[in-house]
């Protein structure tokens, strides 16, 4: 009698554990083929969708060059995925803790980040530009001295401005995302915003009424390259690299590039 009860107890506990495990599976968002040994895990990709034309929100959807490129890469690799708008600083934390599998967000490949993360092969060449109001006396990066400059926190734009003005300079205002930095420029909170050239140009093009101009300064701003970012040691990296190469070589990359930038990409610059 006692033994029977014990057996029953064990069975109930086992059933509960199995139910819990099933719930766990659902909450980590595995794809529809539940329970089977062949269950394919959805790759969770993070982004900061406030960086047009790379990633931004349009009618409740994340859209942009990066979004189309990601889709082409994942289709090529045959991987199921989900893109989440989690914000810039949280993106780095979530990758480091392996809460998510991958990031695409106009992320520049640099040595400092490479110590903590892995990157794909480069997929876009970028540099910085200065956004100012029309009529501003600022004409190049050196003119930023003594001015208040807005940057997105934790970006290479912040680094570029710190190089010019000094790391501890109180005139550097750091914003959570690039959209709020530009809003502060419009409101007169800062004299300039330094951000990635394609983002600055896109804003100027789409907002002629705002009377903002974007200034290039190739002497003081270096060229850099974007890559998809992974937790260190991720086994996704080789798969993504292979798929990205195919997307570039097949002409799909050029198609996406033309859709968003209206011009032919310089593929050679990516292969340096």
- Measured between alpha carbons, how far is 158 from 161 in angstroms, rounded to an integer? 5
Q: Which of 45, 73, 86, 88 binds ligand ARG (CB under 6 A)?
A: 88
Nearer to ligand ARG, 107 or 256 (CB): 107
Nearer to ligand ARG, 51 or 253 (CB): 51
- Measured between alpha carbons, how far is 214 from 132 in angstroms, rounded to an integer? 7
Segment interacting with ligand ARG, rule: CB under 6 A, options 43-51, 142-150, 235-243, 257-265: 43-51
DSSP 8-state symbol, 143: G
Of residues 116 through 145, those in contact with ligand ARG by CB under 6 A are 126
Peptide bond into 91 cis (omega under 30): no
Q: Does 155 bind ligand ARG (CB under 6 A)?
A: yes
CA distances from residue 209 to 50, 203, 219 in whole angstroms, order as listed = 20, 11, 30
Give the CB-side neighbour count of residue 94, counting CA atoms within 13 A: 20
Q: Which of 43, 44, 52, 55 binds ligand ARG (CB under 6 A)?
A: 55
The kind and range of the H/E element at 158 are: helix 156-165
For the record, the structure tokens of 131 come out as 């956004």
DSSP 8-state symbol, 7: H
Q: Does 148 bind ligand ARG (CB under 6 A)?
A: no
Q: For the CB of residue 12, give the shortest distance to ligand ARG in the complex, in Å.
A: 49
Binding mask 181-200 vs ligand ARG (x if CB under 6 A, - otherwise)? ---------------x----
DSSP 8-state symbol, 48: -
Q: Does 48 bind ligand ARG (CB under 6 A)?
A: yes
- Name the β-bridge partners of 206: none
Q: For the CB of residue 48, give the shortest distance to ligand ARG in the complex, in Å.
A: 4
For the CA atoms of 81, 53, 91, 85, what is the dihedral angle to 10 degrees? Answer: -60
Q: Which of 102, 105, 240, 253 binds ligand ARG (CB under 6 A)?
A: 105
Q: For the CB of residue 265, give the shortest distance to ligand ARG in the complex, in Å.
A: 17
Q: For the CB of residue 60, give the shortest distance to ligand ARG in the complex, in Å.
A: 18
Q: Which of 152, 182, 194, 247 binds ligand ARG (CB under 6 A)?
A: 152
- Measured between alpha carbons, how far is 224 from 220 in angstroms, rounded to an integer? 13
Residues that bind ligand ARG (CB under 6 A): 48, 50-51, 55, 88, 105-108, 126, 152, 155-156, 177-178, 196
């Amino acid at each position: 009698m006692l033994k029977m009860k014990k057996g029953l107890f064990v069975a109930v506990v086992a059933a509960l554990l199995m139910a819990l495990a099933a719930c766990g599976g659902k909450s980590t968002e595995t794809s529809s083929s539940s329970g089977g040994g062949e269950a394919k895990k959805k790759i969770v990709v993070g982004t900061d969708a406030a960086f047009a034309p790379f990633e931004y929100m349009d009618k409740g959807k994340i859209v942009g060059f990066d979004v189309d490129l990601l889709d082409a890469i994942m289709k090529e690799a045959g991987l199921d995925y989900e893109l989440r708008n989690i914000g810039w600083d949280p993106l780095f934390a979530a990758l480091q803790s392996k809460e998510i599998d991958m990031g695409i967000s106009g992320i520049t490949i640099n040595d400092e980040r490479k110590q903590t993360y892995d990157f794909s092969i480069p997929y876009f060449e970028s540099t910085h530009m200065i956004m100012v109001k029309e009529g501003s006396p600022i004409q190049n990066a050196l003119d930023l001295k003594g001015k208040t400059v807005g940057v997105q926190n934790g970006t290479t734009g912040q680094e570029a401005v710190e190089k010019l003005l000094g790391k501890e300079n109180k005139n550097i205002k750091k914003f959570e995302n690039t959209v709020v930095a530009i809003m502060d420029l419009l409101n007169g909170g800062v004299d300039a915003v330094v951000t990635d050239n394609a983002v600055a140009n896109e804003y100027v093009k789409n907002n002629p009424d705002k009377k903002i101009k974007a200034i290039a300064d190739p002497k003081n701003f270096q060229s850099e390259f974007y890559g998809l970012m992974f937790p260190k040691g991720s086994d996704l990296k080789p798969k993504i690299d292979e798929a990205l190469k195919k997307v570039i070589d097949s002409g799909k990359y050029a198609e996406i590039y033309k859709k968003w930038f209206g011009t032919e990409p310089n593929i050679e610059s990516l292969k340096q």
